Amino acid sequence: MQLSDKGSERLAMSENNSIGKKFIIHGGILAMAGILVRIIGMVYRIPLLNIIGSEGNGIYSVAYNIYNIALIISCYGLPMAVSKLVSARLVEKQYSNAFGVFKTALLLSLCTGGAAALLIFFGADFLENVVYAGSYPGVSMPLRVLAPTVLIVAALGVFRGFFQGHGTMIPTAVSQLAEQVVNAIVSVLAGYLLVRAYKGASDVAAYGAAGGTLGTAMGAFTALLFVGFVYMVYRPAFTRKMNHDRWGATETTTELCRLIALTAIPIMIGQTFYQISAAIDDIMYANIMKSIGTASDVISKTNGNYNSSYIMLINLPMGVASAMSSSMLPSVVASYAQGKINDIRSKIEATIKINMMIAIPSFIGLTMLGGPIIQLLFPRYNSAEGAMMLKIGAIAVVFYTMSTVTSSALQGIDRINSPVRHSFISLIVHIVLTWGLLKFTRLGIYALVIGSASFPVIIFILNLIELYNEIGYRQEIKITYVVPLICSVVMGIAAWLTYRLFHVFAGNTVSLLAALMIAAVVYFGQLYVCRKKGIY
């Protein structure tokens, strides 16, 4: 009997390790795809920016912020809700109910996504002339192009959530890559053709921005076709599982609608606060700067610099956090359903540790090499201004990463409303701080950077307190933060010295590539030594 108990214990431990490794491996796959997607996004934005110009890019960025808000309000919470609810049912082998979640969510996505698409399409002129007070002339054009994309992405998210609920991130990863490749090709081509066709028009910048947004629509449609194909291939196998489903109670459509709404709406509201903060920043910046006599084209250019040189660059490493959180969520849900609190704590700790291994050196790297990176990627913009933005706000990479992971952890343990409450508190602080800096200082665009960087700090602190109260989670410091920080500082100094040395006899591109290679060798070399010595 004793041997049997030990054997069962070893088997359970083996299963737990397998589950833990699976979510980390799949999270890693999704993270790599996310990084590639963001790299492709940065690369294609270079020719797109050169084609549509700084003013066109400012219009493009504003239209994209509105599009993101529409996505969040209409369907952002659905993928995570589907993933969470499907995972919880698969743990108990409720295959029919899991499929019911998918069908109901797909129907809801078509309703909410369709409604949002219609609102954007017919409300584009109101947004341009009333909300933005004409500060971004022609923004209604790219908004109308983006409108049907909301419906496509709504359905796409449900398919991705269904597969994520099964614990596999591969369909999501591949569809994201396909989406971005098509997006890049169509955006550049359409932007070029429309700018050339309307070269003499006063609103040529708006036409260029509209061409850029067309790629978003075509990319999303391509991704939807791919996940739809994968679903059709997988459906016979899942149908066989449903045929052998012995779970007695079948959930009704009404029950599932209520469950999906109760799960998705808090997630949606929490993310809405973040996206609303970006739109409010655009509105406050445009109106306050206009009130002190700043020209509309200057507002568009500086805002475009902010959205490219700062927002886009800090979003690159943050993709790892989003991917690992998406992978962690169904795993945490499964552990919570089985009452394995220690497993939950271990998964949160492992996810944050992996993320900090990327986020901390990214923060140091962007701080030290921000100027050269902007010169390479966005030569049209003021690299000194962009570099200062990164020096002020690159620390946001670390806090956005931690707030994303801890919010996902709270959602996994059925504390879905907590991240919403924390995001609302942070939004209020963010608005007051940013408005005050814009109104009473001469910081200008740097006020947006400070406000943006402050947003995730409060969320993370409140999330951490909640996790401690609910599951006794204590954040480990030395391995998670101190070791990567020390290694990153040494890396940053080595990279900066390398850049300066090479820049004496070589151009920016060669010097930057040399600095980045040295940075990678120095950082990962230090981590390897620390691991061999048992420090990391």
- What confidence tens digit (pLDDT) does each residue in 40-80 have? 887 888 788 888 887 888 888 888 888 888 888 788 788 88
As a whole number of angstroms, the distance between CA 30 and CA 23 comes to: 10
pLDDT band (50, 70, 90) for residue 15: very low
pLDDT of 5 higher than 80 = no
pLDDT band (50, 70, 90) for residue 181: very high
Alpha-helical (H) ranges within 378-480 are 383-393, 396-412, 417-440, 445-471
Q: Match 């475009």 to its residue by tokens.
A: 304
Which tens digit of pLDDT belongs to each residue from 302-325?
Answer: 887 787 778 888 888 887 777 777
pLDDT of 3 higher than 50 = no
User: Which pLDDT value is given to residue 302?
Assistant: 83
Which tens digit of pLDDT belongs to each residue from 379-416?
Answer: 777 778 888 999 998 999 999 999 999 998 998 898 88
Strands (E), 102-236: none
What are the φ and ψ backbone dihedral angles of 135, each rounded to 5 degrees? -70, -20
pLDDT band (50, 70, 90) for residue 21: low
Using an 8 Å Cβ cutoff, are 146 and 127 in contact? no
Provide the CA 350 distance to its chain's centre, in angstroms.
20
474 Ramachandran zone, left/alpha/beta (phi>0; psi -120 to 50): beta
User: Which pLDDT value is given to residue 249?
Assistant: 73
Using an 8 Å Cβ cutoff, are 117 and 444 in contact? no
pLDDT of 10 higher than 60 = no
Using an 8 Å Cβ cutoff, are 456 and 399 in contact? yes
pLDDT of 2 higher than 70 = no
Which tokens hold the place of 341?
Answer: 């609190």
User: Which pLDDT value is given to residue 116?
Assistant: 92
Which tens digit of pLDDT belongs to each residue from 84-119?
Answer: 899 888 888 888 889 999 999 999 999 999 999 999
Which tokens hold the place of 124?
Answer: 């584009």
User: Which pLDDT value is given to residue 12?
Assistant: 41
User: Which pLDDT value is given to residue 117?
Assistant: 93
User: Which pLDDT value is given to residue 361?
Assistant: 95
- Element at 118 (helix H, strand E): helix 95-126
Q: Match 């075509």 to its residue by tokens.
A: 218
Which tens digit of pLDDT belongs to each residue from 258-303?
Answer: 999 988 888 788 777 877 787 788 888 888 888 887 777 778 778 8
**Burial of 62: CB neighbours in 10 Å, binned 0-12, 13-18, 19+:** buried
As a whole number of angstroms, the distance between CA 448 and CA 445 comes to: 5
Q: How many residues does the chain have?
A: 536
As a whole number of angstroms, the distance between CA 200 and CA 204 comes to: 7
pLDDT band (50, 70, 90) for residue 217: very high
Provide the CA 61 distance to its chain's centre, in angstroms.
16
| Amino acid letter, 479 | I
User: Which pLDDT value is given to residue 59?
Assistant: 86
pLDDT band (50, 70, 90) for residue 37: confident
Which of 113, 24, 115 lies closest to 76, judged by CA?
113
pLDDT band (50, 70, 90) for residue 187: very high
The residues, any chain, with a CB within 8 Å of residue 219's CB and separated by 6 or more, are 178, 179, 180, 181, 182, 183, 184, 186
User: Which pLDDT value is given to residue 121?
Assistant: 92
Q: Match 């120095």 to its residue by tokens.
A: 522
Report helix, strand or coil for 504.
Answer: coil
As a whole number of angstroms, the distance between CA 99 and CA 502 comes to: 58
Check residues 328 and 177 and name the one with the higher pLDDT: 177
Alpha-helical (H) ranges within 472-534 are 483-503, 508-532
As a whole number of angstroms, the distance between CA 329 and CA 333 comes to: 6
Q: Average pLDDT of 419-439?
A: 91
The per-residue pLDDT of the chain, averaged, comes to: 86
CA distances from 209 to 48, 168, 188, 357 (A): 9, 36, 10, 36
As a whole number of angstroms, the distance between CA 264 and CA 274 comes to: 16
Q: Match 């053709």 to its residue by tokens.
A: 193
Which pTM value belongs to this model? 0.76
| Amino acid letter, 437 | L
pLDDT of 14 higher than 80 = no
- Element at 148 (helix H, strand E): helix 140-165
pLDDT of 9 higher than 80 = no
User: Which pLDDT value is given to residue 13?
Assistant: 40
Using an 8 Å Cβ cutoff, are 187 and 216 in contact? yes
Q: Average pLDDT of 187-192?
A: 92
Which tokens hold the place of 250?
Answer: 């079948």
Q: Match 């814009």 to its residue by tokens.
A: 438
User: Which pLDDT value is given to residue 162?
Assistant: 93
Q: Average pLDDT of 414-436?
A: 90
pLDDT band (50, 70, 90) for residue 250: confident
As a whole number of angstroms, the distance between CA 416 and CA 407 comes to: 8
